[in-house]
Chain A
Amino acid sequence: MRRFFILLRRELASFYYSPIAYAVLFFFLILNGLSFWFAVALLSRGPSEMTVVQAFFNSFFFWIAYLLVFPVITMRLFAEEFKLGTIETLMTAPVRDWEVVGSKFVAALIFYLSLWLPSLLYFLIFGWLGNREAVGFGAQLWAPYLLLLLMGMFNISLGCLGSALTSNQIIAAMITLMLTISLFFLTLINYVINSPSPLVKGISAYVAQLDHMDSFSKGILDSRPLVFYPSATAFVLALTYYIFQYRRWKT
């Protein structure tokens, strides 16, 4: 476990050392700022059913920022080790393979979560200075963040998979984008198909990120995402682990 934390520290450091991290943070702040602005602007139009939090997490800009961030965060993780050849020094040190995969995944997850921190600050300050009721109470505030963690886990594990498949960061980013976007659009199956069968409805209920966010941001906790995302993450990470080993042994 000690080595896991040493690796994790190194992975985190490499996130915050790179200028890309700050570019990502910058665009993220702009998009978050825009969706917050629209959320607040909604209130000025008169009484609304929606809280600011709900409006924020269901806006177009939120989803753009959310979907584009995964390839950028994860493309480097494994691809760069293979490209630089540092995989060889890394794996000949006394570390276990799962420690390497796990530390990369957790580091990416921590970086991803840190990207959402400013938005939490918006709500807290808005609630403090403005209208506490407009922000919402209890689960209405923290449930969307719980869902961000759950969905983030899953999408980052897909990113790990994409990065472990290639030595080229651009290709890794493309694979990740393809995987995350196509899973995201599975949500829309219900809207595209006329009168979908119960099976399609059932499946899409598990993967529908849009619908999940809709209910979580109202403060309604659905148990399906709580089960689906962690287990899907574990599955994709296991896949990443085997691909990582296979690629190393093939060279």
Chain B
Amino acid sequence: MIEVEKLTKKYAGITAIDNLSFQVGKGEIVGFLGPNGAGKTTTMRILSSYLPATSGRASIAGYDIFQDSLKARAHLGYLPENVPLYTDMRVGEYLRFRGSLKGLSGKKLKIRVGAVNELCDLKLVQSKLIGNLSKGFKQRVGLAEAMVHEPDLLILDEPTIGLDPNQIRQVRELIKSLGQQHTILLSTHLLSEVEVTCSRVIIINRGRIEASDTPENLVRQLRTSGVVRLEVKTGEDNPIPWLGNLPGVKEVHEFEEDGWRNCAIRIEANTDLREEIYRLAVERNWTVRELTRDRATLEDVFVELTQTDT
């Protein structure tokens, strides 16, 4: 659906994106992650034909975005960051205007506007001025507008920014349900959202792709070490040297709470020492209340890949 080849964009003196190449297949929901200023918005603006690239090629649904821009745009629904809308128009009027601009007319227009109104729950605000709507409603008007012409591809730039947790959940559900018919490329800072909704994640930093894989694989490949949590009563024993002597343990932190000792045991990557720790506890006759391994999250991956050199 999207093919990007060696895309580069330079602003006066700054390279915003640098030799970017990636593909997005039909029906995928791809999360586009990266710190602020990494080049996410620039990439999305180029894909939506708003900005020209300095060099490289890109195509949407088989249409080159520079040579066949109008056709490429007809297959695309784009929701920019901050959702710009005409504040002097009414919701229904705006959707009809945008629908007809994107090539719908007559009965088809009526059906599609009705459908996106239903999907985004805009029935009640049809005749309200967009300028008077709350942030959440504006966001939904923007989403409705992006998909009014049934585009094959939706590009959403931070669709959940500025929404409250309930609204975020609603938008997330909406995006998930859209994924069945549309290909979606979305950028966001909410990593938990990406873990739930996206089938693939592309992480970019300083204009380059750092990683591109499913969220599960990314977490699995995380190079940082894991942590095992142990909550025990050890009687006379001091658990720190005992645990520290186990092969594969890097570091042990401990604090006491209500007579229980809470240990955070940092272990080497891709190992699991829970069995060994349990055996040690049995051997030393410790009472174990909790023994868990902290699961690495996408957040850890993100931090690892995009942290400035430390």
Contact B76 A92 (CB under 8 A): yes
Interface residue count on the A side (C-beta < 8 Å): 23
24 A-B pairs with C-beta separation under 8 A: A3-B101, A13-B89, A84-B87, A87-B84, A88-B80, A89-B78, A89-B80, A89-B145, A91-B50, A92-B48, A92-B50, A92-B76, A92-B80, A93-B98, A94-B73, A94-B74, A94-B101, A94-B102, A94-B103, A95-B101, A248-B51, A249-B51, A249-B52, A251-B51
CB contacts under 8 Å to A, within B148-206, are none
Instruction: Establish whether residues B84 and A92, one from each chain, have CB atoms under 8 Å apart when the complex forms.
Output: no
A94 to B65, CA, bound (A): 11
Of the candidates B74, B76, B100, the one whose C-beta lies within 8 Å of that of A6 is B100
**Contact partner of B84 among A13, A85, A95, CB < 8 A?**
A85
Residue-wise, chain B 89-107 has the 8 Å CB interface mask toward A (1 for contact) of: 1000000011011110000
Report chain A residues within 8 Å CB of B145: 89
Most buried by A among B71, B80, B97, B101: B101
In the complex the two chains form, what is the Cα distance from A87 to B48 in whole Å?
Answer: 13
Within 8 A of B (CB), among A196-242: none
Let me know if A93 and B51 touch, CB within 8 A: no
- Which residues from A are CB-within-8-Å of B78? 88-89, 92
The A-contacting residues of B in range 57-85, CB under 8 angstroms, are: 70-71, 73-74, 76, 78, 80, 82, 84-85
Instruction: Tell me if B255 is interfacial: C-beta within 8 Å of chain A.
Output: no
B49 close to A (CB within 8 Å): yes
Q: Give the interface centre of A6, A10, A87, A93 by most chain B CB atoms within 10 Å.
A: A93
Known: A6-B101, A249-B51. 6 other contacts (CB 8 A): A10-B97, A88-B45, A88-B78, A94-B71, A94-B101, A249-B52
| Known pairs A95-B101, A96-B70; A89 contacts B51 (CB<8 A) | no
Q: Are B102 and A93 in contact (CB under 8 A)?
A: yes
Chain B residues closer than 8 Å to A14, beta-carbon distance: 86, 88-89
Select one of A7, A92, A249 contacting B73, CB under 8 A.
A92
Chain B contacts of A17 at CB under 8 A?
A: 88-89
- The 3 A-B residue pairs whose C-beta atoms are closest, nearest first, are A85-B84, A92-B48, A94-B73
Q: Which residues of A contact B45 (CB under 8 A)?
A: 88
B222 vs chain A, min Cβ distance (A): 36
State whether the Cβ of A18 lies closer than 8 Å to any Cβ in chain B: yes
CB-CB under 8 A from A131, the residues of chain B are none
Least distance between A19 CB and chain B CB atoms (Å): 10
**Which residues in B have their C-beta under 8 angstroms from that of A94?**
70-71, 73-74, 101-103
